[in-house]
Amino acid sequence: KNQVEQSPQSLIILEGKNCTLQCNYTVSPFSNLRWYKQDTGRGPVSLTIMTFSENTKSNGRYTATLDADTKQSSLHITASQLSDSASYICVAEPSTTSGTYKYIFGTGTRLKVLA
Amino acid sequence: GAVVSQHPSRVICKSGTSVKIECRSLDFQATTMFWYRQFPKQSLMLMATSNEGSKATYEQGVEKDKFLINHASLTLSTLTVTSAHPEDSSFYICSARGLAGMNEQFFGPGTRLTVL
């Protein structure tokens, strides 16, 4: 069964600190791994996308890593800001020839950054 | 580029009435649109997938007669919640995927539905 699990479920850090969010997936065959940021009451916004052959991808203070062998990904946030408070969702996209393009969503990590 | 809008952003309705939510791709043609619902502190749950000009494909457990989806053009899809009940109160999010070469779903800002 295609599944994406994230940890921790929630996280509280102080402004300026770094943090790392984890994602394990059991999606096969696998195409892409994406990280999204979702502010409360808003739709998800893409942070990074990696294919199975990529190991790391950065977007400003966000750096995602991917280990396709262990089926693990992480999102590292550097020098956190108050505006980083949001839910971070890991999404795996199966490779498909049927053209359905369905995403497999993780349950998300709720990050709160305190001043 | 690749902007998706939803209207309305919030709607409150009485139990038994129907509510229509619009999803538009503003600067690209969306051959496929997806409708999700999200309960508090949970992730997005796919309700249905619609391709322009054809009937939507509903996920298991989603009532097609209750959640009517129309994808009549390459830039507009609508979700109508018929005979809404309080348990239909949720956050509804659409996403759009463009023509070949646009290998990504672009998400709308969501619609908060509250049924009294």
- Tens of pLDDT, residues A23-44: 999 988 888 899 999 999 999 9
Contact A43 B32 (CB under 8 A): no
Question: How many percent of chain A have pLDDT more than 90?
Answer: 79
- Look at residue A114 in the predicted model and tell me its pLDDT: 97
Contact yes or no for A49 and B43 at CB 8 A: no
For testing contact with chain B, the best of A101, A104, A111 (most B CBs within 10 A): A101
Mark yes or no for CB contact A108/B43 under 8 Å. Answer: yes
Residue B72: predicted pLDDT: 82
- Chain B, 57-96: which have a CB under 8 Å from a chain A CB? 57, 91, 93, 95
Contacts of A42 in chain B (CB under 8 A): 109-110
Tell me: the pLDDT tens digits for B4-54?
Answer: 999 999 999 999 999 999 999 998 888 899 999 999 889 899 999 998 888
CA B40/CA B29 separation, integer angstroms: 31
CA dist., res. A81 & res. A41, Å (int): 19
Determine contact, residues A20/A39, Cβ cutoff 8 Å. Answer: no
Cis peptide, bond prior to residue B109, ω within 30 of zero: no
CB A99 within 8 A of CB A111: no
Which residue is closest to B3 within chain A, CA to CA? A45
Is A107's CB within 8 Å of B104's CB?
Answer: no
For residues B19 and B75, the answer to whether their CB atoms sit within 8 Å is: no
d(CA A5, CA A71): 11
Interface contact B43-A46, CB threshold 8 A: no
The pLDDT confidence band at residue B1, using thresholds 50, 70 and 90, is: low
- Higher pLDDT residue, B102 or B79? B79
Q: How far is CA A75 from the centre of its chain?
A: 6
Locus of tokens 């997005």: B44
